[in-house]
Structure 1
């Protein structure tokens, strides 16, 4: 597939053009990774397309196999490429970017019977899906009880789930809700009903007034990487959101882990 063209020094149809600069103080494997990365970023290597083989890269650059493998590993660590056993290394397919905008919890979406994830997915023309739903009563972690302003030994309802967009897992979320709000409602059922759990909270007389979110980044745990199908080197966002009603009561805390390459955080902030 990738043809050697000696007079131009390229592999296939212009995918790799430059040669190694022996006078550079940048390691050879990093130079190779730089060129492959550039080919991915400018579209010469497209999502799902196979990278040149080790043999082709060795011939093109005139380097040792270990050097080529280090270059490929660099791209895998960055989450740009994935290896498929027996098939080769491919440019990683990325789910469409979802704009995590500041109006995603607007009441108009709940009135239309849409939870936030459904509304967001529809906005980008994607098909939403929820699985791995688990509901239990438990004593929450200390960080959660502090945000809910409850005693550490207080029982809450925990509702965890995984979100997928067009079949790609992108988000893990666990909501913690006071039992006096959740017990006996559809929050305790796998299908929380039109508008999601925020609509059910408002059904209980707790009109939502504001949300406070704290966002951080880190590398995923092994379990998170497995559930989100993350390749090596892909970080996650951790977003902790606290929902308050008109009386200032914290009525829910949602602890969310989001695939770092599936989201763009986008907020509109007033200047006054």
Structure 2
């Protein structure tokens, strides 16, 4: 793909920043191409290219015969911990994602399989390298936008013949089933890093912004002294606000 010329990139970056900061609000009609070109001292071609970049990223939209407008922006998902992991939610038959998205439209495409996990996951689960575990791969879509890729790993001695092997584990999700089996999670550990997305993640999340970032969160769920699940999540950084609540030491 041909890189845009520097003038187009500068204008696209400036307008994107203005939209993100609220200086350009949703529904605002943008100046004409000729006016934008004059204001920023660049050619019409570069201006058209900048608007094309922003339209491709979902920041602006065009209306035939009317011009360009600031598009409706995606409302960030508030991912609040530890509230989202409260056992009371499981008791009500709710999934963890229900806490994140509320009544917003959500879809998930689960894929359940036996896999050999990465070495660090095998170590956390306490299984020998090369041992097969159960994998639950999910791709979450909220309000029409792919926002998260998630894969959970669980030891097969806990999952064989249970609803965890089904595409939908039922009320309370995976942790609800673990609780029924006597392995209710009693503590969690989350590790979060920000990084550039890998090619498969760009495709899976349909990331459009040049320079897009993702948040990788690895959560370990412990029941007593045993790690019963490792969940590795990759979140579109532009789609989430991550909130942690904890008491003062």
TM range (shorter): 0.7 to 0.9
Please say which structure displays the higher CA radius of gyration: 1
Q: TM-score, normalised by structure 1?
A: 0.75
- The 1:221–1:196 alpha-carbon spacing in structure 2 relative to 1, beyond 3 Å, is same
Question: What pairs with 1:26-105 in structure 2 (closer than 5 Å)?
Answer: 32=11, 36-37=15-16, 39-41=18-20, 43=22, 45-47=24-26, 51-52=30-31, 54-65=33-44, 67-68=46-47, 81=59, 91=70, 93-102=72-81, 103-105=83-85
> In 1, Cα distance between the equivalents of 2:153 and 2:98?
20
Question: What pairs with 1:193-212 in structure 2 (closer than 5 Å)?
Answer: 193-212=170-189
In the alignment, is the contact (CA less than 8 A) between 2:51 and 2:60 conserved in 1?
no
Question: What pairs with 1:227-238 in structure 2 (closer than 5 Å)?
Answer: 227-233=204-210, 234-238=212-216
Which residue matches 2:153? 176
Q: Which runs of 5+ in 2 are unaligned?
A: 1-5
Higher helix content, 1 or 2: 2
> In 1, Cα distance between the equivalents of 2:11 and 2:237?
25
- Residues 1:135 and 2:112 are matched in the alignment: yes
Q: TM-score, normalised by structure 2?
A: 0.82
- The 1:244–1:54 alpha-carbon spacing in structure 2 relative to 1, beyond 3 Å, is same
Cα drift, residue 95 of structure 1: 2.6
Q: Alignment length, in residue pairs?
A: 240
2:220 to 228, 238, 242: 242
In the alignment, is the contact (CA less than 8 A) between 1:82 and 1:231 conserved in 2?
no
| RMSD after superposition | 3.1
